[in-house]
A and B are shown apart, each in its own frame.
Chain A
């Protein structure tokens, strides 16, 4: 029982990180209609920013997190403006290749600045831990879950209740019509990138505190897993990204605990394939029928 509970909690923890990254993937996909392959590398940049802010600038952790969110949001907007915006009318494959280029760029930039050896992410002390049913739960895990829950609720309210949220939904539904209604598509997409990248920065902090070591390629695997989670839940759907992320984290941790650590990735991907074969647009994805 305690193994089950421990696995469940660590699954939720990992799932929250995936969900935060997947939200960024899914929002950008839904609104800008592109696969932002560089999204994973934003996490890495966020993590390095956190390290520099705490270790070199001696900022308190919370301030460091805010700095990291600002840096990542700014970086997201910069990438969108310089690399993606000029390609708005280009074939989607060209945009994908550009995103891959941006991903290589960020990784190699980090390699040049920080070197190839891994760096430790500063750990937040004093959060303590407590025990439920013989299972020790770290304070950081509780914080991860709480912050993720708050972000999810906040984001849902934002998308459904604000003018900007409405604009985002309109652009994702029909870009041309939204533009005719006076919505600035470029501004909406820019803000989407800012929010998505900001979420990635928050995810990077939790990732750093859970897995500690950061290197230039740190972002790619969580990035791919989050992309998987977004597709799993139905890419473009925000509740789908949340659900997909949490489920993926749970599946991964349970596979590790009960089946095999080596096979966990294979199991995660196999579950994804099975789900997509049964539901080709993911768990909560909209069924799209082609009009003939």
Chain B
């Protein structure tokens, strides 16, 4: 029982830290103490956090490789922004933006359902290429339709707004996404999804409906990606579908893997670090992406090296905390003996 409570506490702690982070950012933003550079990063980084946490449901929990997450985001972005443009001036912003996020999420969820269907028959690298293909198809379709602005992009200038307006929505979306994923992970659905990842045949043999859960994962992950996309669209005056190709999907996948498969806190931290660091390194211009690539390779080599792995495990806050506590107990025992 005590152990169960502990994991719940850990979730609450992660959420509390996230909430506190956004509170601090809000204070900085509204008091005018925030630099322009940081201000411009608030919404994109929040979007990446939501994307990474939701992709983690597919990659970390279900164990399927998806290279099409950017496609869902793009679907959500365009449908959400179209609704927002339509409602602009008719309803107040506080209704319009959440509605557009909801609409973006729902449209993306339908996309997730459609992409999830082949996922029932395909696995591994075959599924990866199909999700990538779906993402590219979504890109082509949006680029070639008239009402989405075509190749010139959708003019979102009428609904464009700055971080000061968008931060509350971003904060709520990030917190809701994290909460939903955490709650899901520790429920019968979460267990079912992880059991499919660990051993599909055994999962079926104990009565788990693999089809249902796989589709549910794709739909849910797409919903949050879509909602994040709709929000993201509001910080541009013009959006083009070509900006959301498979490279964006790969970027998010890198965040998920570096943050740790199935770890929600890890995804959040990795998204923040990987999105802010390159911005901070702007002065290095051309070198920064080269450094990023080298760091990426080195991190992969290091984390898969058994000796280094042990070393890093020793540095994990949880382990350090345990060590510290064990040390305290020893001290106390030593003290009581004296």
Q: Which residues of A contact B (CB under 8 A)?
A: 29, 35, 83, 86-87, 89-91, 93-98, 100-105, 107-109, 111-112, 220, 224, 227-228, 231, 235, 260, 262-263, 265-266, 269-270, 272-273, 276-277, 280-282, 290, 292
Q: In this complex, which of A231, A270, A292 has the most chain B Cβ atoms within 10 angstroms of its Cβ?
A: A231
> How many angstroms from the CA of A105 to the CA of B129 in the assembled complex?
22
Taking CB atoms, residues of chain B closer than 8 Å to A86 are 301, 304-305
Q: In this complex, which of A90, A91, A93, A281 has the most chain B Cβ atoms within 10 angstroms of its Cβ?
A: A93
Kindly identify which residue among B130, B133, B286, B300 contacts A101, using a CB–CB cutoff of 8 Å.
B300
Taking CB atoms, residues of chain B closer than 8 Å to A112 are 286-287, 290
Q: Please give the distance in Å from B119's CB to the nearest CB on chain A.
A: 11
| Least CB separation from A102: chain B residue | B297
> How many angstroms from the CA of A54 to the CA of B257 in the assembled complex?
42
- Cβ-defined contact, B140 with A108, below 8 A: no
- Cβ-defined contact, A105 with B133, below 8 A: no
- Decide yes or no whether B296 CB sits under 8 A from chain A: yes
- Cβ-defined contact, A228 with B289, below 8 A: no
Segment at the interface with A among B218-226, B246-254, B315-323: B246-254
- Tally A-B pairs: CB < 8 A: 122
Per-residue CB contact flags for chain B residues 114-126 toward chain A (1 = under 8 Å, else 0) read: 0000100110011
- Cβ-defined contact, A94 with B304, below 8 A: yes
- Decide yes or no whether B237 CB sits under 8 A from chain A: no
Taking CB atoms, residues of chain B closer than 8 Å to A235 are 125-126
- Cβ-defined contact, A102 with B129, below 8 A: no
Selected A-B contacts with CB under 8 Å, 12 pairs: A97-B253, A97-B258, A108-B290, A108-B293, A111-B286, A112-B290, A235-B125, A262-B144, A270-B133, A273-B130, A280-B122, A280-B126
- Decide yes or no whether B189 CB sits under 8 A from chain A: no
- Cβ-defined contact, B122 with A104, below 8 A: no
Taking CB atoms, residues of chain B closer than 8 Å to A103 are 293
Known: A90-B304, A104-B296. A273 touches B118 (CB 8 A): yes
Q: Please give the distance in Å from A40's CB to the nearest CB on chain B.
A: 12
Taking CB atoms, residues of chain A closer than 8 Å to B65 are 93, 96
- Cβ-defined contact, B130 with A105, below 8 A: no
Q: Please give the distance in Å from B177's CB to the nearest CB on chain A.
A: 22
> How many angstroms from the CA of A97 to the CA of B143 in the assembled complex?
29
Taking CB atoms, residues of chain A closer than 8 Å to B293 are 101-105, 108
- Cβ-defined contact, B129 with A228, below 8 A: yes
Per-residue CB contact flags for chain B residues 233-257 toward chain A (1 = under 8 Å, else 0) read: 0000000000000110010011001
- Cβ-defined contact, A87 with B140, below 8 A: no
> How many angstroms from the CA of A189 to the CA of B143 in the assembled complex?
41
Taking CB atoms, residues of chain B closer than 8 Å to A89 are 304
Taking CB atoms, residues of chain B closer than 8 Å to A90 are 300, 304
Could you tell me which residues of chain B, from 191 to 228, have a CB within 8 Å of some CB in chain A?
A: 201
| Least CB separation from B261: chain A residue | A93
Q: 5 tightest CB-CB pairs across the interface, nearest first? A: A101-B296, A266-B140, A269-B133, A104-B293, A105-B293
Taking CB atoms, residues of chain A closer than 8 Å to B122 are 276-277, 280
- Cβ-defined contact, B133 with A280, below 8 A: no
- Cβ-defined contact, A97 with B141, below 8 A: no
- Cβ-defined contact, A277 with B118, below 8 A: yes
Taking CB atoms, residues of chain B closer than 8 Å to A269 are 133-134, 136-137, 140
- Decide yes or no whether B292 CB sits under 8 A from chain A: yes
Kindly identify which residue among B130, B246, B287 contacts A272, using a CB–CB cutoff of 8 Å.
B130
- Decide yes or no whether B20 CB sits under 8 A from chain A: no
Kindly identify which residue among B137, B294, B303 contacts A270, using a CB–CB cutoff of 8 Å.
B137
Kindly identify which residue among B144, B287, B300 contacts A97, using a CB–CB cutoff of 8 Å.
B300
Taking CB atoms, residues of chain B closer than 8 Å to A91 are 304
- Decide yes or no whether B132 CB sits under 8 A from chain A: yes
> How many angstroms from the CA of A56 to the CA of B237 in the assembled complex?
44
Taking CB atoms, residues of chain A closer than 8 Å to B301 are 83, 86-87, 98
Q: Please give the distance in Å from B161's CB to the nearest CB on chain A.
A: 32
Could you tell me which residues of chain B, from 147 to 178, have a CB within 8 Å of some CB in chain A?
A: 151
| Least CB separation from B141: chain A residue | A266
> How many angstroms from the CA of A60 to the CA of B289 in the assembled complex?
35
| Least CB separation from B246: chain A residue | A224
Known: A108-B293, A281-B126. 8 other contacts (CB 8 A): A93-B65, A97-B296, A220-B247, A262-B143, A263-B144, A276-B121, A277-B118, A277-B121
> How many angstroms from the CA of A83 to the CA of B302 in the assembled complex?
11
> How many angstroms from the CA of A91 to the CA of B300 in the assembled complex?
10
> How many angstroms from the CA of A227 to the CA of B15 in the assembled complex?
40
| Least CB separation from A262: chain B residue | B144
Taking CB atoms, residues of chain A closer than 8 Å to B292 are 104
> How many angstroms from the CA of A86 to the CA of B304 in the assembled complex?
8
> How many angstroms from the CA of A102 to the CA of B254 in the assembled complex?
13
- Cβ-defined contact, B133 with A272, below 8 A: yes
> How many angstroms from the CA of A266 to the CA of B261 in the assembled complex?
31
Kindly identify which residue among B132, B261, B300 contacts A87, using a CB–CB cutoff of 8 Å.
B300
Q: Please give the distance in Å from B92's CB to the nearest CB on chain A.
A: 38
Q: Please give the distance in Å from B228's CB to the nearest CB on chain A.
A: 22
> How many angstroms from the CA of A232 to the CA of B293 in the assembled complex?
30
Q: Please give the distance in Å from A123's CB to the nearest CB on chain B.
A: 29
